[in-house]
């Protein structure tokens, strides 16, 4: 619970600034998973602090 959230994974884009739609979708799914894991950890810390103070 005392860990920092992970760094975001870089999205690979072509030189013209476009990206492969499938790669972008996979990156979005991975990012959502990272967010949910980080949210879960931080909520656990919040719950522990609030329960400890009651």
pTM of the model: 0.61
Domain holding 24, by residue range, is 20-54
46 alpha-carbon distance from chain centroid:
18
With respect to residue 50, please indicate whether it lies within any of the assigned structural domains. Answer: yes
pLDDT band at 7 (very low <50, low <70, confident <90, very high): confident
With respect to residue 13, please indicate whether it lies within any of the assigned structural domains. Answer: no
Query: Strand, helix or coil at 18?
Result: coil
Quick: pLDDT tens for 11-49: 777 677 777 888 888 888 988 998 898 888 888 888 888
Q: How many domains does the chain have?
A: 1
With respect to residue 9, please indicate whether it lies within any of the assigned structural domains. Answer: no
Q: Which long-range contacts (CB under 8 A, 24 or more apart) does 50-53 make?
A: none
Alpha-carbon gap, residue 6 to 49, rounded angstroms? 22
Alpha-carbon gap, residue 54 to 52, rounded angstroms? 6
């Amino acid at each position: 619970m005392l860990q920092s959230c992970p760094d975001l994974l870089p999205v690979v884009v072509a030189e013209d600034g476009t990206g492969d739609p499938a790669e972008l979708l996979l990156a979005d799914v991975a990012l959502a998973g990272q967010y949910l894991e980080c949210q879960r950890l931080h909520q656990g810390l919040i719950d522990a602090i609030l329960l400890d103070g009651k």
